[in-house]
Amino acid sequence: YTIRTELGTLDGLTFLLVGDMRMRTMHSILYALSQFGSKAYVVGPPEMSLLPEFKAELDGLNVMYEEAASTADVIAECDVIYMEPVVQADYTQSRVERDDAKLGLTPEAYCVTRELLREKAKPSSIILHSLPRMDELLPDVDATRHQRYWVEAFNGVVLRMALLSLVLGAME
C-alpha cells in the first residue's frame, strides 16, 4: 500500500531487499512480485540467503530476482529499498541492563547510510523497514527524502484495522 501510494505503481519497479532472506516478510514481498513486472536484488549474509527450495519456487513463478553481495553494488538501480536487520536484538535485557558495546554490528554490505543514499541512490527511491531497526539504518536517514518506514508503520496499523472491520462484519 505504501509503495503504491508513494510511487503510484508496483509495475516496473526495481526492489532492493536487504536482510535475512529466511524471514516471512522477504518471502511475502518476493511472492507478491510474481504479480508485477518488477525485479528484486537480494542482499544478505550467506547464512541468511534464500534457500534453494525457495529459489526453485520463485523460479517457477517467474520472479525476476538477482542476488548481490552489497547494497552499494545495486542501490543506484533501485526504486524501493526494503530492509530487515541481519543482527538480531537481544530482548532478554532492557536498554539499561545491556552493554551496547557488546552488540554485534551490521556489516557495511548490509547497511544503508545517509552518505550511500546521497552518493548512489535515485533521488526518487524510498526506504521501507520492518522495524525495529538496529544499526543497519541509522536515525540520520530519518531526515532524508527517502524515508518512508514511519509512513509504512502508520499505514500498516490503519490497513489492519480496516481488514479486521471487514472480517468482523463491521463494514462492507
At 148-170, the pLDDT tens digits run: 999 999 999 999 999 999 999 98
pLDDT exceeds 90 at position 172: no
Q: How confident is the model at residue 171 (pLDDT cuts 50, 70, 90)?
A: confident
pLDDT exceeds 60 at position 93: no
Q: What is the arithmetic mean of pLDDT over 95-118?
A: 80
Instruction: Report the largest interatomic distance among the alpha carbons of the chain, rounded to a whole angstrom.
Output: 52
Q: How far apart, in Å, do the first and last CA atoms of the chain sit?
A: 20
Percent over 70 (pLDDT), the chain:
90
Please give the Cα distance from 32 to 128 (Å, whole number).
Answer: 16
pTM of the predicted model, to two decimals?
0.89
pLDDT exceeds 60 at position 95: no
Place of cell 545495486: 74
